[in-house]
């Protein structure tokens, strides 16, 4: 594996679409990487990845500090729907994404969210940005 952020994003997505509570609010195909403004609502979009490589661990493993922003978008019921989606995302990720065959999460920082004003208020969209942060390990 060359990109721990992509593997981390996949682990987050698998954890989210494994949540029946979230799928009751957002279709699985709307939980994905995409441009910041959604083309399908409601949605949870991945954006703004960042990675700091920390070095080598035992057994030819690599370690990195990864950061990822989730964008929560909703239109119907405005803030109520978006906030309910964000709360469900938080609940699914409260203890971190599940480890995968390629990636283990060694350290998890609970998500934080900020609510942003839509630059196009005529669309009546509500947008929340949730920051995810973890230290991950993988084998080369």
Domain boundaries, the chain: 4-139
Query: Which residue did the predictor score with more confidence, 28 or 60?
Result: 28
Was domain 4-139 assigned CATH 3.30.2000.30? Answer: yes
Contact (Cβ atoms closer than 8 angstroms) between residue 63 and residue 57: yes
Whose structure tokens read 């949605």? Answer: 43
Which pLDDT score is estimated for 77?
A: 62
**Taking the model in full, what pTM does it have?**
0.91
Which pLDDT score is estimated for 48?
A: 85
Query: Which residue did the predictor score with more confidence, 44 or 123?
Result: 44
Stretch 52-80: mean pLDDT, rounded?
89
Whose structure tokens read 């929340």? Answer: 128
């Amino acid at each position: 594996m060359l990109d721990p952020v992509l593997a981390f994003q996949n682990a987050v997505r698998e954890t989210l679409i494994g949540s029946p509570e979230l799928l009751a609010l957002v279709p699985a195909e709307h939980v994905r990487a995409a441009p910041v403004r959604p083309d399908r609502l409601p949605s949870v979009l991945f954006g703004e990845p960042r990675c700091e490589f920390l070095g080598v661990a035992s057994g030819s493993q690599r370690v990195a500090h990864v950061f990822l922003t989730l964008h929560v978008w909703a239109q119907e019921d405005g803030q109520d729907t978006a906030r309910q989606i964000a709360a469900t995302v938080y609940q699914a990720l409260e203890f971190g994404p599940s480890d995968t065959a390629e990636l283990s999460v060694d350290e998890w920082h609970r998500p934080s969210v900020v609510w942003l004003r839509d630059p196009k208020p005529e669309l009546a969209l509500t947008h929340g940005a949730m920051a995810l942060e973890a230290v991950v390990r993988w084998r080369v």
